[in-house]
Chain A
Amino acid sequence: MNLIFIEDGKPLAKRIDTLWHGFEEPLAQVSQQPISGSVTLQLLPDVELEDLRELIAQASLVLLELPTFTDGRVYSIAAALRQHYQYTGCLRVFGDVRQDQIDDLHRCGIDSFVLEDSQSSDETLTRFNAFGFRYQRPFG
C-alpha cells in the first residue's frame, strides 16, 4: 500500500507496509490502567469519542477506517477531533479511500492517507486543493 502524507503543506507519497507506519502499533485493547507516553488509537466509525477523551489527549496517531467511500462518518469524526477535542496529532485514514474524496477528507483535518494498491497515488496527489476558493474554512 501507499501512504500519502503532507510535508510543508505539500502532499507526498511513499510505500509502507503497516497502517501505523512511523508510529507505535495501536493498543489492542484499552486497559483500565493509565497509559504512559504517546499512543496510537484506531477508532471505529461508531466510536463514542467522549469515552476516549483522555486517550485522545495522549494520542499521536489516530487511525480511522473508511468502510466504503460513501460512508461519511469519518469526516465528522475527524472534524470533531480537530475542533472539539483539539487533537493536533496525525490523523490517518485507510480503507476505501478514493482520489475524488481526498480533498474533502483533507479539509476535515485528515493529514495522512493510506491508499490500496488499486488506487493510483500519482493521480491522487493531483486531487488536493482542487479548488482555489472554497466557501468553508478547513478544520485542519
Chain B
Amino acid sequence: MYQYSEQDQQFLQTRTEQFRQQTERFLQGQLSAEEFQQLRLRNGLYIQRLAPMLRVAIPYGLVSADQLRTLAKISRDFDKGYAHFTTRQNIQFNWPKLEAVPDLLASLAACDMHAIQTSGSCIRNITTDPLAGVAADEQVDPRPYAELMRQWSTLHPEFNWLPRKFKIAITGAPHDRAAIEVHDIGLSAFNEQNNVFFRVVVGGGLGRTPMIGTTIHERLPAKHLLTYLTAILRVYNRLGRRDNKYKARIKILVKAMGEARFRDAVDAAWQPIKGGPDTVSDERIQDLMRHFSQPDYAFVNDADQQAVISSDGAFHLWRNRNVLPHKTPGYNAVHISLKRPHTPPGDVSDATLEDLAALADDYSFGEARVTHEQNIILADVETSRLFELWRLLVSADLATPNRGLASDMICCPGGDYCSLANAKSIPVAAEITKIYEDRQQEQRLGPLSINISGCMNACGHHHVGNIGILGVDKKGEEFYQISIGGDSGDTGNGAELGKILGPALSRQHIARAVLNLTQCYESARAEDETFNQTLERVGLAPFKTAVYESEAI
C-alpha cells in the first residue's frame, strides 16, 4: 500500500470540509443547483434513478484490509449493506443521503480514501494492472508512476474543467491487463538498460464511438512523463469540442486533427515545458516507491511446498483456474471471483467485505487489489497456504473457479440502477450465469470474455468482450445487440473491437443466443484456438447462422 503522509491526510480533510460547506450552501439556497452539480460530481456524487450514488476511488486498484473494513462499515452506515465494484477500480454505494455525504467522505478520509474526481469532466482515477509489482511477465512496476499521476492529477488547477471526462491507464507488462488502448491516454512502460520508457497511446475509448488509441510517442523517457501529459491535456483542453458532449472526448479531437497534426500540436505545447520544474527525477520515483509497503517475503522453496497441498479435485480445479504465478518463488496471486450465481457481478455485501479484509490480513500482508473485471486479487499468498485459503474461500462463497471463463462476466449496473440505461444488464448476466452453472461446460470452453453494458456509454466494456452485449431501446422495449471478436488487450496481441453480429435480440432470446455462439465456437475450434482465433479463421457467417437460424429464435 502507498502510505499517506500527513500532508496527504490534511489535504483530504480540507477537501472534505470544503465539500461540507458547499453542501450546506446548496441546502441553504446559496449555491445554484447547476453549480452544485458540478462540485458534487467532482466529489464522486451522482444523483441516480432511485437515489444518489457515490463512487469512491481505489487508486490503481490497491486497497488495504483496514480500508475494506471501512468500506464495509460505510455500506452499513450509509447504504443498505452492500457495495458495487466497477470496471475502473472504483467502488460505488447506491443509497447515501445527500446531507450525509460529507460525513461519509470524512469516514473515507480517515482511512486515506476519497471520491475526488471519480466523476465530472476531469482526470479520473488512474487505473493499472491488478498484478502490478507481482506479475511474472512485468517489466516495470507501474505503481510509483500511477501514484505520481494520482498526485499530479488530483485537483490539478488547469484540468478540472475539461471538455469531457478523461481516463488514464498504465501498464508495465506485455500482457496488458489494464486495457490501456481503450483509454483517453494509455501508457505502456518498458525497460531498456535500466531506463524506463513509455509508449504513449492517445484517443482510445469505448462508448458511442469506440476506438483503439493511436500511439503518439513510441519511447518517452520516464522523466518527461508529467510534462508530456500536461502538453496532451493542454491541447485537449484548448481544442477539444465543447458544443456536443458526444463529440467531446479526446478521441474525436485526435481523429479530427489526424495523428500527425495532433502529435505536432502536443509537441509544440511540450517543448516550452520539457525539462522544466515538473520533470520527474529518479529520486522522486524511488521516494514514491519507498512509500509503498513492501511485503516481507519469506524465502520459501516452491518445490517443497507443493507436496503439502491436498489432492482434493475441487481445490485443483480452483487452483488451476484462479491462482496466478508470482515474481517471487513460493508466492502466488490468488484471484477471488465476485461473479457468483445469485449475486450481480461486482456486488459485495458488508459481510463479504469483512471476509475479504480478514483474508487479506491473514494471507496477503493486509492488502488486496481490485480488478477492472470487477474481481479481487490477493497478490501475495504463500503456496503452502493455498489449500487453507481455498477452504475459507469456499465457506465464504468466494471460491468460484471461473477466472476469465464465460461466467466471469463484466457487467455494468444497467437499468436496475443507472438512469442512463436503455436496458437491464444484471438479469441478463444472471441468465447467462445459469447456462454455465455446470462448471465443466465453461471449463471446456476455456477463456472467454462476455461483457454487458446497459447502454452506449459502455461501462461494461462490451466492445472489447469476445462476446459483447449492448442494451438498446426499441420503441420502449429492451433489446440487446451482440458483437463478437473484441479483446481488451490482455492476450498480449493488442486490443480489438468486436463486430456487430446482426439485428438486436429481445430479452428472452439473449441467453440462448450466447449459448448458441459458444456451441458454434466449440464445434468449429481447432485444438487450442481461442474464441477470437476461431472467429478469425471461420469468419462471422457460422456464428450468424448459429444465432439467427437456430430453432429456438
Q: Which residues does A use to contact B, with CB under 8 Å?
A: 50, 69-73, 75-77, 79-80, 83-84, 98, 100-101, 103-105, 107-108, 130-139
A84-B269, A130-B14 known; A138 and B157 CB under 8 Å?
Answer: yes
Query: Of B7, B269, B278, which one neighbours A80 at CB under 8 angstroms?
Result: B269
CB distance from A18 to the nearest CB of B (A): 27
Is the CB–CB distance between B159 and A72 below 8 Å? Answer: yes
CB distance from A130 to the nearest CB of B (A): 6
Is the CB–CB distance between A107 and B35 below 8 Å? Answer: no
A72-B159, A72-B237, A130-B14 known; A135 and B273 CB under 8 Å?
Answer: no
Q: Does B328 contact A (CB under 8 A)?
A: no
Q: How far is the CA of A108 from the CA of B277 in the complex (A)?
A: 15
Is the CB–CB distance between B158 and A108 below 8 Å? Answer: yes
Is the CB–CB distance between A133 and B7 below 8 Å? Answer: yes
Known: A72-B162, A79-B234, A104-B157; 15 extra A-B contacts, CB below 8 A, are A71-B161, A71-B242, A72-B158, A72-B161, A72-B163, A73-B238, A76-B237, A83-B273, A83-B276, A104-B158, A130-B18, A133-B11, A135-B154, A135-B156, A139-B158
Is the CB–CB distance between B35 and A98 below 8 Å? Answer: yes
Which 6 A-B pairs have CB atoms at the shortest separation, nearest pair first? A72-B161, A107-B157, A104-B157, A84-B272, A76-B237, A135-B151
A83-B272, A132-B10, A135-B152 known; A104 and B35 CB under 8 Å?
Answer: no
Q: Does B139 contact A (CB under 8 A)?
A: no
Is the CB–CB distance between B156 and A136 below 8 Å? Answer: yes
A83-B272, A84-B269, A135-B151 known; A75 and B158 CB under 8 Å?
Answer: yes
Is the CB–CB distance between B35 and A69 below 8 Å? Answer: yes
Is the CB–CB distance between A72 and B160 below 8 Å? Answer: yes
CB distance from B249 to the nearest CB of A (A): 14
Interface residues of B in 27-61 (CB under 8 A from A): 31, 35, 38-39
Q: How far is the CA of A100 from the CA of B31 in the complex (A)?
A: 10
CB distance from B291 to the nearest CB of A (A): 14
Q: How far is the CA of A104 from the CA of B163 in the complex (A)?
A: 17
A77-B238, A136-B152 known; A108 and B157 CB under 8 Å?
Answer: yes
> Which residues in B have their C-beta under 8 angstroms from that of A76?
158, 233-234, 237-238
Q: Does B518 contact A (CB under 8 A)?
A: no
Is the CB–CB distance between A131 and B11 below 8 Å? Answer: yes
Q: How far is the CA of A136 from the CA of B277 in the complex (A)?
A: 10
A-B contact pairs, 13 of them (CB 8 A): A50-B268, A70-B161, A73-B242, A76-B158, A79-B158, A84-B269, A84-B273, A108-B158, A134-B157, A135-B152, A135-B154, A135-B156, A137-B278
CB distance from A140 to the nearest CB of B (A): 10
Number of interface residues of B (CB under 8 A): 36
> Which residues in B have their C-beta under 8 angstroms from that of A107?
157
> Which residues in B have their C-beta under 8 angstroms from that of A77?
238
> Which residues in B have their C-beta under 8 angstroms from that of A131?
11, 14-15, 155
Q: Does B349 contact A (CB under 8 A)?
A: no
A71-B242, A73-B237, A83-B273 known; A100 and B22 CB under 8 Å?
Answer: yes
Q: Does B279 contact A (CB under 8 A)?
A: no
Most chain A beta-carbon neighbours within 10 Å: one of B121, B152, B242: B242
CB distance from B38 to the nearest CB of A (A): 6
> Which residues in A have their C-beta under 8 angstroms from that of B152?
135-136
Using CB atoms, name the residue of chain B closest to A73.
B238
CB distance from A118 to the nearest CB of B (A): 10
A72-B237, A73-B237 known; A134 and B158 CB under 8 Å?
Answer: no
0/1 per residue, B260-278, Cβ < 8 Å to A?
0000000011001100111
> Which residues in A have their C-beta under 8 angstroms from that of B273?
83-84
Q: How far is the CA of A79 from the CA of B269 in the complex (A)?
A: 11
Q: How far is the CA of A132 from the CA of B155 in the complex (A)?
A: 13
Q: How far is the CA of A130 from the CA of B158 in the complex (A)?
A: 16
> Which residues in B have their C-beta under 8 angstroms from that of A130?
14, 18
A133-B11, A135-B154 known; A70 and B121 CB under 8 Å?
Answer: yes
> Which residues in B have their C-beta under 8 angstroms from that of A72?
121, 158-163, 237
Using CB atoms, name the residue of chain B closest to A100.
B39
Is the CB–CB distance between A135 and B155 below 8 Å? Answer: yes
CB distance from B333 to the nearest CB of A (A): 31
0/1 per residue, B137-172, Cβ < 8 Å to A?
000000000000001101111111111000000000
CB distance from A27 to the nearest CB of B (A): 23
Q: How far is the CA of A83 from the CA of B162 in the complex (A)?
A: 19
Q: How far is the CA of A136 from the CA of B7 in the complex (A)?
A: 13
Q: How far is the CA of A131 from the CA of B17 in the complex (A)?
A: 11
> Which residues in A have their C-beta under 8 angstroms from that of B15?
131
> Which residues in A have their C-beta under 8 angstroms from that of B269?
80, 84
Most chain B beta-carbon neighbours within 10 Å: one of A72, A84, A139: A72
> Which residues in B have their C-beta under 8 angstroms from that of A133?
7, 10-11
Using CB atoms, name the residue of chain B closest to A83.
B273
Q: How far is the CA of A92 from the CA of B273 in the complex (A)?
A: 23
Is the CB–CB distance between A75 and B14 below 8 Å? Answer: no
> Which residues in B have their C-beta under 8 angstroms from that of A71?
161, 242
Interface residues of B in 262-307 (CB under 8 A from A): 268-269, 272-273, 276-278
